[in-house]
Amino acid sequence: MPQTTKTSDTTASAGEKDFMTRLADAGEDALHRLTELPGGQKAVAAFNDLRNRVDELAKKVRGIDALEVRVTKLEKELAALKKSRRASESADG
């Protein structure tokens, strides 16, 4: 029975690859047809530009997380400095 499972897994994998290949081919064909339409090349260029801008935006958003961590750390350090300054002022006064 283990061999049957391997063959069915292999068949499923091959079927999935075949489906993915057909899907990729259909996508390429659709893009090719789109570029042949009036204004199609502009649409494809706009989609590519949009993709590039979304990639840039994603990079910037990932950078915001690091900045939030730094700001939180600095806020804690500032709070600690304020507490120690208040403590030293009350001890002097």
Alpha carbon separation from 14 to 3, 5, 18, 57, 70 (Å, rounded):
16, 14, 6, 37, 49
For the chain, the structural domain boundaries read 1-36, 50-93
Which residues contact residue 64 at a Cβ distance below 8 angstroms, ignoring those fewer than 6 apart? none
Quote the pLDDT of residue 37. 80
Whole-prediction pTM: 0.43
Quote the pLDDT of residue 23. 85
Spans of the chain below 70 pLDDT: 1-12, 93
